[in-house]
Amino acid sequence: MGVRILFLGPLSDLAGESEIEVAAPLDWEGLLEQVDAEIAQQLRETRVNIACQGRVLADKTALDAQDGDEVALLPPVSGGQA
């Protein structure tokens, strides 16, 4: 089954796909190894968050995704009035 990594927003454009599946378990270092260097650099930025199983991690380096988990890479949200 593995861990499903979802690339959201502009991270999807950088990855060239919206999701990948990787072997479990998956920790912070493993995540950085599974994505391309440009995405890994983005993940190191404090403004990019990670959610595991729908919960945003307060400390993304504490990622501990297990078989069947979903990890979402959350770029900063921008917006305003249209």
Dump pLDDT digits (tens) for 15-26: 999 999 999 999
pLDDT tens sequence across 22-39: 999 999 999 999 999 999
Tell whether pTM > 0.75. Answer: yes
Is the confidence at residue 81, as pLDDT, over 60?
no
Q: Residue 80 pLDDT > 70, yes or no?
A: no
* C-alpha distances in Å from residue 20, one per residue of 2, 6, 8, 33, 34: 10, 7, 12, 13, 9
Q: Tell how far CA 20 is from the center of its chain.
A: 10
Cα–chain center distance at 6: 6
